[in-house]
Amino acid sequence: MSEQEEQKVEIVKDPNYRTIIVNGVIGGHRPGFFEAIIYSEEMISEDALATLRPEPSKIRVRRVLQCRLIIDPVQAKSLAKWLTQHVSEYEKVFGRIITPDEAKPPPTRGLSV
């Protein structure tokens, strides 16, 4: 193969390929690999809406475990670099991303004591 020719790569989607909305990740590292469980959350509002006056206190959250990723250390480092680069580019365009830990609680109404 000459230098001018690039090797072609065949792309095939797995039958289980899908898009997942990621609301959270939990996991860690072990000898030889990183492990991440990807989950999404959805609001369950049927009980809250089952009465004439909706009852927000009856809203629940369902956490759905979507998949488990096993990532070798080289790919984990590559993924971390890729995410860091893209988060930086995103923040340059759209502004700083505030994480829940950094968010200020809403101001209280009325007089403070």
pLDDT per residue as tens digits for the range 15-71: 999 999 999 999 999 999 999 999 999 999 999 999 999 999 999 999 999 999 999
Q: Which residues pair with 25 in a beta bridge?
A: 38
Is 54 domain-assigned? yes
Domain hosting 77: range is 24-94
Residue 102 has pLDDT above 80, yes or no: yes
pTM for the whole thing? 0.74
Mean pLDDT, residues 8-15: 96
| Alpha carbon distance 100, 72 (integer Å) | 29
Number of domains making up the chain: 1
Q: Which residues pair with 61 in a beta bridge?
A: 43
Is 111 domain-assigned? no
| Tokens coding 95 | 């502004």
Is 34 domain-assigned? yes
> Can you give the pLDDT at residue 101?
87
Is 29 domain-assigned? yes
Is 6 domain-assigned? no
